[in-house]
Structures are given as structure tokens and as C-alpha cells.
A and B are shown apart, each in its own frame.
Chain A
């Protein structure tokens, strides 16, 4: 039996009283999964809302003929967090696949049909849950917008600041040029990252280069050509391009 204390802490049930939570608990089903086991697949009918009780669930995109890996993870879901919210939002299809990312994980599954029935019988529950859901989607939207596109391995790290201000100033073209250079150079140890704003919107697009053993360098007002030059001269040859560095 699921503890009401646990349900009280679940983000999507915030603000519901014990009577409401007891009604929802009747529809909860606990399930266990082992590492890399798939909970659901991208494109499937989103029949259930899910909550993590223990462990971590990764939401990943699948690539044809390739095994799943953490590189395909778009977001990770932890205790008290909800996933599979497409079940409550038209067209009710899962948009990513869900995998158990820890040695084991325990999740709660609630069928959409039961939830909708509960909401329709008591619209106060429906109003609160849907309000929480809009808040959760809004937060994840902002996080995804600020920190998407991450790539692999260590050693050298290049961060393109892809917050909204950076994108407006042309950061996507900078990222695109960097990707081209990476593909051409075949240096898999270099780590590419995107991150949010560094608080210097007027010098965007900004790019931070971190090389082990050296101070980080922030480049300002970047464009595709400058990015290619920084990659060739600084990353590959070790010469900081002071003309473009933030003073």
C-alpha cells in the first residue's frame, strides 16, 4: 500500500488534501524495473501517468538499430517527480522512451482513464492537478530551453551559451560551426556543452573554453567564422584568441 506521506510530496499532487489523495491512491499501481529495462516506448499510446518512487528514470530518444545509452537521454526523473504526462495532454502519445537508469527503480503507474474519471467526478482535484502539471511543464520547458544539447567525454570543454538571449544574437550558428569543426577534427575527447546565460546578454553569443590546467576563457560576440578560428587556434593549437576574449 502506498503511503499517503509519499503522495503528499509528489509534485503533481501538491495542494490536494488527504481525502483527494486517498481517492487517487486507489488507482495507483506499483511496479519494479531493472537497469536499462524499458517502461514504455516513444509513440505508444500514453495510457498511464508515472511517478518515481525510488531510483532514476531516463527519458530517451531511440535511434534505429542502436542500443539505448545515456547519450540519448533528454531528461532524468527522480523521486517524487512525474513523467508520461502526455497521458493527460492531447494527442496522448509518449514522445520519448523511458528506461530505468539505476540498478533498480520503483515507480507508480496510474491509468489515464481512472485519473480523468476522478477529475470529472471532482473538478477541484482536476483543477489542482492540471494547474500543477502546467507549472511542471513550464519549468521543464524553461530548463530544456536553457540547457539542451550536451555531448560526450572529457578533457577539453567548450560551452556555447544557448539561452534565449544567445539564440537571438546568433548562438545557434556558432554551435553549428562548432559541430562542423568537431566532425572534421575527429577529436572525440572534446566535450561540447550548451548552457544558460552568463549574465552578459550584450556580449552574446558567448562561448566558454575550458582546458584542463588553464584558466577558462570566455569569448564574446562570436559568430561562425570566429568560432572556427577559436577552434583551430585555441582548441587545437593552444593559442588563446585574445582579440575575441571577454576583458
Chain B
């Protein structure tokens, strides 16, 4: 059974009340996975939004024909963090592969269709979750943009 208290701590569910969180719980299930289990593959239909309950997930860029390894990890998500947000954003394909790491990993996976139906039925939930998601994705975008600006600034200051 997914804990309501835990869901209250999840970043993308901030601002939802107990009744709204209870509706989210109906769309989700808890899964326990061994270390180095692949949760989903890059390019796959993104059918689930995932939350880290315990342990962590590594998001990796797998190179075809080569075994996955930690060296391919582009980012990691820890307890209370959400990943697989491509599930609720068109074209709904995972951009990276997800691997459980750190031993004793537990995740909550929330079915996309159920979640989107819930958002349509109760747009207060949809608005809150999408606003939180925009903040999360926006922060990642800004980090990347700052890196691009920093590099470009170095080029210009270097005189070419």
C-alpha cells in the first residue's frame, strides 16, 4: 500500500490535499527491484511516471551493442524524486534508460492513462502537478542553458 505520508513529501505532488493524494494512489503501485534492473529503455513508450521510494535510479544513455554501466549515467534521482516525466508529455517516449541502483530499491509507478484521466476529471490536481513539473523541468533546462551560455561566453571572451 502506497503511504499517503510519503506521497506528501514527493516534489511533484506538493500542494495536493489528502483526498487528491488518495486519488493518485489509486493509479499507482509499489514495486521492489534488484540492483541494476532496467525499469525502462530509451525510446520505449513512456507508460509510467515513476517515483523513488527507496534507493535511487540512474538515468543512462545506453549505447547499442554495449553493456550498460554507471559510466553512461547522465543523472540520478533519489528518494522522493520523480522521473519518467516523458510519460505525461508528448511524444511520450523515454529519452534515457532507467536502472535501479544502490540496493533494496523501491519505486512507485503511476500509470499514465490513469493519471491523465484524473487530471481531466479534476483539473485542480492537473494544474498543481503540471505546475510542479514545470518547475522541475524548468530548473533542469536552466542548468543546461547556463552551461551553454558559460561556454559561449568563454568563446567570446577568448576573442573568436
The total of chain A residues at the interface (CB under 8 A) is 49
Q: Is B90 touching A90 in the complex (CB atoms < 8 A)?
A: no
Q: Is A202 touching B148 in the complex (CB atoms < 8 A)?
A: no
Q: Is A126 touching B127 in the complex (CB atoms < 8 A)?
A: yes
Residues of B within 8 A of A151 (CB): 152, 155, 160
Residues of A within 8 A of B119 (CB): 127, 131
**Given known A-B contacts A74-B152, A89-B138, A144 and B145 have beta carbons under 8 A apart:** yes
Q: Is B148 touching A74 in the complex (CB atoms < 8 A)?
A: yes
**Given known A-B contacts A126-B123, A126-B127, A86 and B152 have beta carbons under 8 A apart:** no
CA distance A99 to B90 in the complex (A): 30
Contact with A123, one of B64, B95, B127 (Cβ below 8 angstroms): B127
Q: Is A130 touching B160 in the complex (CB atoms < 8 A)?
A: no
Contact with A130, one of B134, B139, B155, B158 (Cβ below 8 angstroms): B134
Q: Is B71 touching A168 in the complex (CB atoms < 8 A)?
A: yes
In the complex, number of A-B residue pairs with CB atoms less than 8 Å apart = 132
Binary flags per residue of A72-95, CB closer than 8 Å to B gives 1, else 0: 101000000000011011100001
Binary flags per residue of B116-133, CB closer than 8 Å to A gives 1, else 0: 000100011011001101
Residues of B within 8 A of A71 (CB): 152, 155-156
Residues of B within 8 A of A85 (CB): 134, 138
Contact with B151, one of A86, A148, A164 (Cβ below 8 angstroms): A148
A148-177: which have CB < 8 Å to B?
A: 148-152, 164-165, 167-169
**Given known A-B contacts A127-B119, A144-B145, A168 and B156 have beta carbons under 8 A apart:** no
Q: Is A66 touching B156 in the complex (CB atoms < 8 A)?
A: yes
CA distance A90 to B65 in the complex (A): 41
Is B22's CB within 8 Å of the partner chain A? Answer: no
Q: Is B63 touching A149 in the complex (CB atoms < 8 A)?
A: no
Q: Is A141 touching B151 in the complex (CB atoms < 8 A)?
A: no
Closest to A127 in B: B126
Is B146's CB within 8 Å of the partner chain A? Answer: yes
**Given known A-B contacts A95-B142, A134-B89, A188 and B65 have beta carbons under 8 A apart:** no
Closest to A153 in B: B160
CA distance A201 to B158 in the complex (A): 31
A-B contact pairs, 26 of them (CB 8 A): A63-B156, A71-B156, A72-B153, A74-B148, A85-B134, A89-B138, A89-B139, A123-B123, A126-B131, A127-B119, A131-B88, A131-B89, A131-B119, A134-B85, A134-B130, A134-B133, A137-B137, A138-B85, A138-B89, A141-B141, A144-B141, A144-B145, A148-B144, A148-B147, A149-B155, A165-B61
